């Protein structure tokens, strides 16, 4: 009798002390785990390198180098608070240019076309909402070389007066450098005029991407063009499967408790 009382008491004490130990022991390990890493922000963003690995943007990069505009852009990225936003057409956008061939332009005009693809300010994707309210936005080409942005429920459309295109993915978007991939070469009204109407945009059929596309670009394009297709169906299927499994597990647990 007395022995069992002692046994129970000692057991209780043991439990109490072990829980007390657990309480005192756990805090130190918690305070050790969050290691604040003072991430030093990289100052220099190498535009050439970014454009070399993404895309493919070889045609645009070749123009940037042959016109030396790359130095203007890199200087803006290196040395200004304003930063830069570059709108880069893929190689396929250049190869699908038909009528207004760039080969007919003078060197100065080509330089203007390339300068036309950048804005002397860093814009995050969310900032384009503001731009759609301000109307004509100046580019590096200056003067009449302006672009109009419209935010169509999260998808950014760009009008150059001659061509209408849209942002299809973000290659880089960290202040002070933003690089966005666009569907078409931006042709300035100031060079190509307004005579040729910018085709009434048959929106439902986006340009079929060539097989050599990078997987990131493809996923971005498919996301923006078909938001409500198979992914929704498969995810809801997963959720119901999970629910069934969870119920089964809970049921089994309940039976075990009853036993």
Ligand X SMILES: *[C@@H]1O[C@H](CO)[C@@H](O)[C@H](O)[C@H]1NC(C)=O
Binding site for ligand X (CB under 6 A): 44, 46, 48-49, 52, 71, 74-75, 78, 127, 130, 135-136, 148, 159-161, 189
Residue matched to tokens 């097989």 = 211
CB 78 to ligand X: min, Å = 4
Q: Between 90 and 121, name the residue whose CB sits nearer to ligand X.
A: 121
- Residue whose beta carbon is closest to ligand X: 161
Q: Between 193 and 254, name the residue whose CB sits nearer to ligand X.
A: 193
Q: Between 130 and 226, name the residue whose CB sits nearer to ligand X.
A: 130
Residue matched to tokens 């060079």 = 191
CB 182 to ligand X: min, Å = 15
HSE toward the beta carbon, residue 99, CA cutoff 13 A: 9
Q: Between 3 and 44, name the residue whose CB sits nearer to ligand X.
A: 44
CB 52 to ligand X: min, Å = 5
Between CA 87 and CA 125 the distance in angstroms is 12
CB 74 to ligand X: min, Å = 4
């Amino acid at each position: 009798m007395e022995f069992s009382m002692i046994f129970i008491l000692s057991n209780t004490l043991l439990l109490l002390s072990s829980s007390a130990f657990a309480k005192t022991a756990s805090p130190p390990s918690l305070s050790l785990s969050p290691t604040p890493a003072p991430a030093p922000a990289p100052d220099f963003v190498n535009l050439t390198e970014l454009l070399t690995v993404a895309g493919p943007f070889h045609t645009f990069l070749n123009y940037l180098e042959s016109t030396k505009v790359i130095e203007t852009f890199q200087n803006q990225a290196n040395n200004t608070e304003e930063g830069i936003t570059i709108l880069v057409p893929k190689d396929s956008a250049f190869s699908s240019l038909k009528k207004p061939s760039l080969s007919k332009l003078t060197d100065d005009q080509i330089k203007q076309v390339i300068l036309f693809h950048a804005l002397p300010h860093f814009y995050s994707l969310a900032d384009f909402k503001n731009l759609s309210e301000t109307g004509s936005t100046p580019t590096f080409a200056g003067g009449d070389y302006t672009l109009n942005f419209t935010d169509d429920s999260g998808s950014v459309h760009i009008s150059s007066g001659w061509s209408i295109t849209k942002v299809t993915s973000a290659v880089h978007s960290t202040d002070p450098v933003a690089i966005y991939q666009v569907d078409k070469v931006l042709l300035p009204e100031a060079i190509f005029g307004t005579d040729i109407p910018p085709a009434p945009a048959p929106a439902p059929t986006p340009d079929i991407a060539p097989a050599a596309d990078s997987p990131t670009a493809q996923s971005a394009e498919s996301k923006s063009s078909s938001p409500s297709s198979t992914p929704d169906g498969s995810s809801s299927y997963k959720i119901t499967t999970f629910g069934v499994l969870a119920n089964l597990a809970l049921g089994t647990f309940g039976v075990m408790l009853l036993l």
